[in-house]
Structure 1
Amino acid sequence: DDLLAQDDLLAQDDLLLDTSGLDLLSDLDSTSMLDDQEAQFYRENPLIAVLTPYLDNSRQFIPGSTVGVVLLKDTAKVNAYLAIPQIRQLFPSDMKFAWHFQPDGEEQQFIRLHALKSTRNNQPAMDGKYVTDARVGTDPYTGQFNVSMNMNAEGAKRWANLTRENVNQSIAIVMDGLVYSAPNVSEEIKGGSSSISGDFSQTDADDLANILKSGKMPARARIESSEVIGPSLGAKSVKDGMNSFLIAFVVVLAYMIFYYSRRAGMVADIALLANMFFLIGVLASLQAVLTLPGIAGIVLTIGMSVDANVLIYERIREELAAGKNLKTAIKDGYKNAYSAIFDAQITTFLTGLILFFFGTGPIKGFATTLVIGILTSLFSAIILTRLMYERMLTKNRSITFDTKITRNAFKNAKIDFIGKRKMFYVISGVVILAGIASLVTKGLDLGVDFSGGRNYVITFKQDVETAEIQDNLAAAFGETPTVITYGSKNAVRVTTKYLIDDDRPEVDSIIKAQMFEGLQPYIEGEVSLDDFINGQDYIISSHKVGPTIADDIKRTALLVIFASLLIIFLYILARFRNWQFGLGALGALVHDVLIVLGLFSILDGIMPFSLELDQSFIAAILTVVGYSINDTVVVFDRIREYVGLQKKRERRDIFNTALNSTLSRTFSTSLSTFFVVLAIFVFGGDVIRGFTFALMIGIVVGTYSSLFIATPLVYDTIKGDETARILKGAVRK
């Protein structure tokens, strides 16, 4: 119907096409045989001259995806016409055209043109990976060939949803841009078993079955929008974020020199720089897009890279304190640090793999950076630094691993962590209960990603800065919208959830009026509210959008995180040979996540910046989990070692000694990572302030839980008297 509706529009003077140079009419054999009126019509409507609408005898469109029939020799002409902007703008923006895979007619001289709806980002509504089998059969009553296909459990659910949404419509089976079949959906299909019938020959049916089994089934249906947009952070925010990151990175490099001496600090700094070089290089070679989840992965990578170097240095310092010479101390220091490094990194690495293979959207973006970062960190911290020390030792260079200021730092610490555990239980319990109460009564500030909202594309007479537009509209709406560059620098797309639950007919005008007030500094000349709302000079489009984090992505996220926690538990159980360690780690993770969520709910509206939950918050939570488990496993590793070395000591003393011995490492790693995030928080701009605030809370809470929650939980869940040796230690050799 849309195609027919364009016939009259094509004849309008303002849409007459300049076909000079195309010479598309000169080859029309039929033109010379037409009378003058028909020839004039076809010259004014050149597309209809080569494309015959797919109509029945009553001049109605035949149901299905086919919109027209074209001579094979005219397909290039049709493609050329459909590519002309004046032609293309007459059709819906989500309409895509595709040719049938084979010609029709006795002499195979005709071919059908299909009109399809695109999905978001031109991805299929379903992939062929869900099809487990496809085979040719015959209808027992008519004898006609048909094709039956079966799907796996996930595919059956998706297929049921897709067919329910497209009853009495066609779903196209497309491969390499060609439509192989476009069966009509008569009803919702449940169970994953379907039959495609039609006027198939044996060859046609075999081809279709093979296509379905080939691994891809792009059934193009449903798209919300297809746009060219700029970075959501804005040019100024990107620049501020980069500057803040560089400042933090330089301070971390300086801290390593300050704490571990000039030479040892320089080795660690070179390893850290090399790690970043490798990480960015791999991401660039993969053409990965750097998003906030990716930045979160980089921050966690920096923390784990610093931690690996710190673990090695702390071990070397212990060996030197035990009276070993420099060469032996370095050798044994690396050897004895491997256990903690590998346990911490492998635990996080396995989590990253689960998130990468089964996660989607921001989860997969975070996992990609994390997995690559762990591998580059291990290479830089273990192999690269060892080679540099071997080189210095062969030249008899003097190497120290402390300074006068830091030599005795934390050396005589005797904090009674276990004795004070109940006090910390109470503190954590109060914070968690307050957070839960706030979550129940106040809830969280769900962003557009979760709740949906409205999109407005606005143009200005001059270039504008997205961060400034966002600040002005935040004051007008009372909440912070998302503002991104839309194509050119003088156009933005504003996404807001302001009055999203208001269904009054006039709500759109109310929102635009508020927008008009907020954008006054950028509106030039005498522009009235009516001109702003109803004119085309500023607001060029507006529509309501659904949440971008769909229900299936939310469900997948929960399942993936649950699978990651299970993997963590099983790995710790296998490595530490006690389920209590796994339980302590999981308890600490749940503790950390609840506190972050609770504080976000409590502090929302109190802090001078937005604490809205969006896709980047998922990455922040995953970073908290990764950092916390890394910290906890390092502490557990030291407990395991001390149990093996000091079998006759009281369990309480062993736990306290192990915790105190890790304080120097915990302080250095946490302070370095925290400062990176703090610098981004202070200098990175308002756009990412809520994101970095979540990371800061997570680092503090993760460090706290590894010392005051995870280990005490292990202590309390181990049954038996103080002299029972049920903890299985590993004696260090």
Structure 2
Amino acid sequence: MQNKGLITIFAILFGLVSIYQLSFTFVANKVEDSAKEFANSKFSAEQPHERDNAEARYLDSVGNNTVFLGIDYNTAKEKELNKGLDLKGGINVILEVSVKDILKGLANNTKDPAFNQALENATELQKDSQETYLESFFKAFEALPGENELASSDIFFNKNLEDVIDQGMSNDQVKPIIQKKIDESITSAFEVLRKRIDKFGVTQPNIQRLGKSARILVELPGAKDVDRVRKLLQSTAQLEFWYVYKFEEMAGFLQAADTKAGEIAMAKSAPETTQVSDTTKTVTDTTKTEDDDVSKLLGGQDVKDSLANDNKSNPILSKMVSLGSQGGPVIATFRLKDTADINSYLRNPQIKSLLPNELRFAKFMWGLPESNPQLNGEEVTALYAIKSEKDGLPPLGGSVVVDARQEFDNMSRVVVSMQMNGQGAKVWEQMTGDAYQNQSQIAIVLDNIVYSAPGVTSGPIAGGRSQISGNFTVPQGQDLANVLRAGKLPASAEIIQGEVVGPTLGHEAISSGIMSFMIALVIVLLWMIGYYGKAGVFADIALLVNILFIFGILAGLGAVLTLPGIAGIVLTIGMSVDANVLIFERIKEELAKGKAQKDAIKDGFNNALSSILDANITTGLTGLILLVFGTGPIQGFATTLLIGIATSLFTAIFITRLFIDSYTKNGKSLPCSTSFTKNLFKNVSIEFLRKRKIAYVFSGIMILISLGSLFTIGLNQGVDFVGGRTYTVRFAKDVNSQEVQDNLIKTFGSAEAKTYGGDNQLKITTKYKVDETGTDVDEEIEHMLFETVKKDMPADMTYEDFVGDREGKTIGRMEYYKVSPTIADDIKKDSFWAVFGSLVVVFLYILLRFRRWQFSLGAVAAVFHDVLIVLGVFSLTYKFMPFSMEIDQAFIAAILTVIGYSLNDTVIVFDRIREYFGEHPSWKMNRIIDVALSSTLGRTLNTSFTTLIVLLCMFFFGAESIRGLLFAIIVGIVVGTYSSLFIATPIMYDTVKRKKVEDLIDKKEEDEVALEA
């Protein structure tokens, strides 16, 4: 090997840089451990929020203090090795910006029937389509009967788009303009979300738009407050300022609405048209005697008590908690759980018609929920009536706000102060002047919720300064100021895929991952020494250097280390060993031929190089495809796998060579074996081809069983592919999963509960309301889940304790994962293309490398064989295995890994066969193949054994969440080793045996020349 000095210097520098990059992680962990100790010394485990605040204050106070080699905590935190959600805990969501809302906005909220029908039809098309919403809209619009033009004055030829769209444009001319406007709106939404997240306070947040879609990925490692994050991400920040009606102006209507609602309810049970008609007349008269109604309603509690048990005849007032006060903006207060019913009454056309002419455009809105001590802490909310005109637009919108910040008022309450621009200041001065003169209030409304409705007591407010109050906590005030400052989203955004991992689960994953990693590493290190002696020591050193390089590169690139990523590193250990095994086995062969040790080492490395490159390139190709099509943790798996392949090649080919050359330069013997392994596999001669028919029959039976199971039993498709919600719930004691499942089925209609890890932990999956999204739906289902499992929880556990995320949490909801059916279809499609694409790419690579389609056919047939059997095993066993065997994105990663590993084995076997064609042109083909397979048997079994040992350590000692992935890879390696010997090679033989071998010899010589060049 030439340029040893240069390689040595490069390796040393690379190692030092890796250590430097990892030093940031060391510093960050050291300071954070000190912060935890400080917080734990001040507050008990029963005070999680106080402990979190104390820890945050400690870190903030020491952030700029130098800790090690001039590195301070703030710098270290920015450059530390990023840990994924499954290791650190946190929140990961995919938001989909509503293209439907953007289209409505571009069309100026038109009432055009064709446009609105096309929107509804597009929504239906999206349920079973892989198209974007915009493509579905265009298709639905053109499918409508008649000559419908996008550029008509009722649709996109309006004041919003008159600069870019002319009325005479065809639909094909309008489409790209609308597409551009949609892209601009989604980019705007991305920037708004990025600004909000930058101020949220988590370290190493990640936000990215997924391709050209309307989907935005947001990862917040370490975030614990799920509700806060949901509101931050989904709040459109639609700020509006409205005049508000006083209580006495709406009191008469409230009485009339209650009476009418009672009539409607009574009519449903015993309809009598004459009675309803008479009463309607009375109600209409009642609305005219406002003063009488006010006096009745202002009777307050007496009225409410008299109606409390008369729900059917007084369905509105009987739900009322309290009345508003005269001169105030609150009409009445209701329980939060009753607001949906009250809304349905107020929206009823018969009830709305009771509004007097001067109030006919009134809009009803709710205030912020508050806890009511008189109702045992149950949440209540106030009802407001907003003064609106026919156009429904507010006198002043939030676009005029140029700055917002959280502050404290003179009563030490949290408020949000806003500064408006010149135009807003002028309107605000006018509005506050009117309110002062009329002694009325102005409602400050955010996303259709009234945050406050203050009166004006000191005249018009000049300068554009205003405040929002609403019993905020400091984080709530900060978030509100944040979203106002960042601006509003151009359209609503729904969470279509979400994952919440509690910090406790993350710490457990790190512990189990490190333990399994260390056990696997020690076993491999000892095995290499026991099998190859001193050469094994050199391989071990190269392996340790390889691991240092991998972690150093991950830290330097800012890549995210995930639990599947750790599995990828562990798998890399096996691949790194594989390269050294290939080299040592070739050196032993050259020594057996009688060559001098120096020549044997040189030829051993040279002869192994072709096989090592082929094997790693095929695995690397599948890793690249996984990187392109995967998301989140799966991309982490692909990243570590690809980095590991590159570093393994470098350390095996160069680092190991440096040590071996240095050791043997003075003539020291290096047999690459021990007394136990010296003659192992030395004289093995197996007639593999004679057994191929038996292998065909055996494999055929296995494939038929697998196909039969797949068509009858099927696969346990996870929520990644079908949509739904999955919860990891940990109990204080062992529970009966079947009993819990039966209770969940009663609650949700369909659900599955399976033991996940220990008997005190379940993985619960439900498709209840899978088509519905939104924070309220998520909260509703989590409440239902809590009520169902509450009997198996401690008696004092509250809902907040159940869903809360904090370090040290030992029971409750530990993890949450949600996928909507829309994105589930896309994940399934991407997974199919990932597997199919990897097979095509590998077929083409082998065709290019070996120059004959028969080799490609054998390799791809073996891969199909392996994949079908792995699928069959999962289909046959998923119902009774004590761990999750769902078919999800992690399983697809496992399948691609199996493909890569199977091809790795097959390519090495093919490479040896092609080599023997050149060395023994007079031999018959079946002899060449049998001898070639026998000569690789030691390497094949050794590599498979070490890789299986590594994976089994991860399987038994690693985290529960990747057990299914590891099981698939373990099965795949066993089957892949078998198929390389008994399927791939025989199929190649049966399709090529009548051809002349001279072609293969020529191809081998051409490849050797190319490699030397």
Q: What is the TM-score of this pair, normalised by structure 2?
A: 0.50
Please state whether the residue corresponding to 1:454 is helix, strand or coil: strand
Partner of 1:251: 523
Alignment check: 8 A CA contact 1:569 1:586 kept: yes
Unaligned runs of 5+ in 1: 54-70, 100-112, 119-220, 458-464, 485-491
Alignment check: 8 A CA contact 1:638 1:658 kept: yes
**Which residue among 717, 725, 730 is the counterpart of 2:991?**
717
Partner of 1:692: 966
Please state whether the residue corresponding to 2:970 is helix, strand or coil: helix
Where does 1:398-413 land on structure 2 (aligned, <5 Å)? 398-413=669-684
Alignment check: 8 A CA contact 1:436 1:598 kept: yes
Q: In the superposition, relative to structure 1, how do residues 266 and 514 fare at CA in structure 2: closer, same or farther (>3 Å)?
A: same
Question: Are positions 1:287 and 2:558 aligned together?
Answer: yes
Deviation at 1:404, TM superposition (A): 1.1
Please state whether the residue corresponding to 1:617 is helix, strand or coil: helix
Alignment check: 8 A CA contact 1:82 1:88 kept: no
| Counterpart-to-counterpart distance in 2, 1:385 and 1:467 | 50
Partner of 1:496: 765
Please state whether the residue corresponding to 2:675 is helix, strand or coil: coil
| Counterpart-to-counterpart distance in 2, 1:569 and 1:606 | 36
Q: Deviations over 1:430-453 (max 9, x none)?
A: 111101111111111112222222
Deviation at 1:570, TM superposition (A): 1.8
Please state whether the residue corresponding to 1:223 is helix, strand or coil: strand
**Which residue among 607, 628, 650 is the counterpart of 1:379?**
650
Alignment check: 8 A CA contact 1:267 1:388 kept: yes
Deviation at 1:475, TM superposition (A): 6.1
Alignment check: 8 A CA contact 1:314 1:665 kept: yes
Partner of 2:827: 553
Partner of 1:445: 716
Q: In the superposition, relative to structure 1, how do residues 603 and 231 fare at CA in structure 2: closer, same or farther (>3 Å)?
A: farther
Q: Deviations over 1:649-677 (max 9, x none)?
A: 11000000000000110111000000011
Number of residue-to-residue matches in the alignment: 570
| Counterpart-to-counterpart distance in 2, 1:2 and 1:290 | 40
Deviation at 1:338, TM superposition (A): 0.7
Please state whether the residue corresponding to 1:694 is helix, strand or coil: helix
Q: In the superposition, relative to structure 1, how do residues 2 and 584 fare at CA in structure 2: closer, same or farther (>3 Å)?
A: same
Deviation at 1:581, TM superposition (A): 0.6
- Root mean square deviation of aligned Cα: 4.7
| Counterpart-to-counterpart distance in 2, 1:273 and 1:684 | 21
Q: Deviations over 1:677-696 (max 9, x none)?
A: 11122222544332221111
Instruction: Give the partner amino acid of 2:884.
Output: S
| Counterpart-to-counterpart distance in 2, 1:493 and 1:448 | 16
Question: Are positions 1:260 and 2:532 aligned together?
Answer: yes
Please state whether the residue corresponding to 2:981 is helix, strand or coil: helix
Partner of 2:871: 597
| Counterpart-to-counterpart distance in 1, 2:933 and 2:988 | 13
Instruction: Give the partner amino acid of 2:766.
Output: K
| Counterpart-to-counterpart distance in 1, 2:582 and 2:790 | 53
Partner of 2:16: none
Question: Are positions 1:38 and 2:436 aligned together?
Answer: yes
Where does 1:59-70 land on structure 2 (aligned, <5 Å)? none
Where does 1:614-693 land on structure 2 (aligned, <5 Å)? 614-684=888-958, 686-693=960-967
Partner of 1:305: 576
**Which residue among 495, 502, 505 is the counterpart of 1:223?**
495
Deviation at 1:279, TM superposition (A): 1.1
Instruction: Give the partner amino acid of 2:912.
Output: R
| Counterpart-to-counterpart distance in 1, 2:980 and 2:465 | 67
Unaligned runs of 5+ in 2: 1-237, 243-362, 373-380, 383-406, 449-460, 743-751, 773-778, 805-812
Partner of 2:847: 573
Q: In the superposition, relative to structure 1, how do residues 224 and 581 fare at CA in structure 2: closer, same or farther (>3 Å)?
A: closer
Q: In the superposition, relative to structure 1, how do residues 472 and 368 fare at CA in structure 2: closer, same or farther (>3 Å)?
A: farther
Q: Percent identical across equivalent pairs?
A: 47
Partner of 1:612: 886
Q: In the superposition, relative to structure 1, how do residues 82 and 566 fare at CA in structure 2: closer, same or farther (>3 Å)?
A: farther
Q: In the superposition, relative to structure 1, how do residues 336 and 474 fare at CA in structure 2: closer, same or farther (>3 Å)?
A: farther
| Counterpart-to-counterpart distance in 1, 2:734 and 2:509 | 12
| Counterpart-to-counterpart distance in 1, 2:686 and 2:844 | 31
Question: Are positions 1:428 and 2:726 aligned together?
Answer: no
Where does 1:134-145 land on structure 2 (aligned, <5 Å)? none
Deviation at 1:539, TM superposition (A): 6.5
Deviation at 1:719, TM superposition (A): 4.7
Which structure has the larger Rg over C-alpha atoms?
2
Instruction: Give the partner amino acid of 1:254.
Output: L
Deviation at 1:39, TM superposition (A): 8.8
| Counterpart-to-counterpart distance in 2, 1:468 and 1:687 | 20
Please state whether the residue corresponding to 1:550 is helix, strand or coil: helix
Where does 1:224-243 land on structure 2 (aligned, <5 Å)? 224=496, 229-230=501-502, 234-243=506-515
Q: In the superposition, relative to structure 1, how do residues 673 and 12 fare at CA in structure 2: closer, same or farther (>3 Å)?
A: closer
**Which residue among 582, 594, 602 is the counterpart of 1:323?**
594
Partner of 1:337: 608
Alignment check: 8 A CA contact 1:244 1:679 kept: yes
Deviation at 1:308, TM superposition (A): 0.5
Structure 1 residues 598-607 or 584-593, which shifts more? 598-607
Please state whether the residue corresponding to 1:333 is helix, strand or coil: helix
Deviation at 1:248, TM superposition (A): 1.4
Instruction: Give the partner amino acid of 2:855.
Output: F
Q: Deviations over 1:80-138 (max 9, x none)?
A: 999965568999xxx96577xxxxxxxxxxxxx644446xxxxxxxxxxxxxxxxxxxx
| Counterpart-to-counterpart distance in 2, 1:72 and 1:286 | 52
Partner of 1:9: 367
Partner of 2:740: 476
**Which residue among 838, 846, 862 is the counterpart of 1:588?**
862
Partner of 1:155: none
Q: What is the TM-score of this pair, normalised by structure 1?
A: 0.67
Please state whether the residue corresponding to 1:420 is helix, strand or coil: helix
Instruction: Give the partner amino acid of 2:409.
Output: T
Q: Deviations over 1:118-162 (max 9, x none)?
A: 6xxxxxxxxxxxxxxxxxxxxxxxxxxxxxxxxxxxxxxxxxxxx
Question: Are positions 1:273 and 2:538 aligned together?
Answer: no
Q: Deviations over 1:230-278 (max 9, x none)?
A: 36954334422321221111101100001101x2111111111111111
Deviation at 1:467, TM superposition (A): 8.7
Structure 1 residues 73-82 or 709-718, which shifts more? 73-82
Structure 1 residues 708-717 or 678-687, which shifts more? 678-687
Instruction: Give the partner amino acid of 1:727.
Output: L
| Counterpart-to-counterpart distance in 1, 2:416 and 2:837 | 62
Deviation at 1:328, TM superposition (A): 1.5
Please state whether the residue corresponding to 2:725 is helix, strand or coil: strand
| Counterpart-to-counterpart distance in 1, 2:827 and 2:586 | 43
Partner of 2:409: 19
| Counterpart-to-counterpart distance in 1, 2:525 and 2:623 | 27
Please state whether the residue corresponding to 2:681 is helix, strand or coil: coil
Deviation at 1:319, TM superposition (A): 0.9
Q: Deviations over 1:367-395 (max 9, x none)?
A: 22222111101111001111111221234
Deviation at 1:418, TM superposition (A): 0.4
Structure 1 residues 561-570 or 509-518, which shifts more? 509-518
| Counterpart-to-counterpart distance in 2, 1:591 and 1:79 | 66
| Counterpart-to-counterpart distance in 1, 2:800 and 2:857 | 61
Deviation at 1:713, TM superposition (A): 0.8
Q: Deviations over 1:680-724 (max 9, x none)?
A: 222225443322211110110111111111111100111527x76
Alignment check: 8 A CA contact 1:303 1:669 kept: yes
Instruction: Give the partner amino acid of 1:332.
Output: D
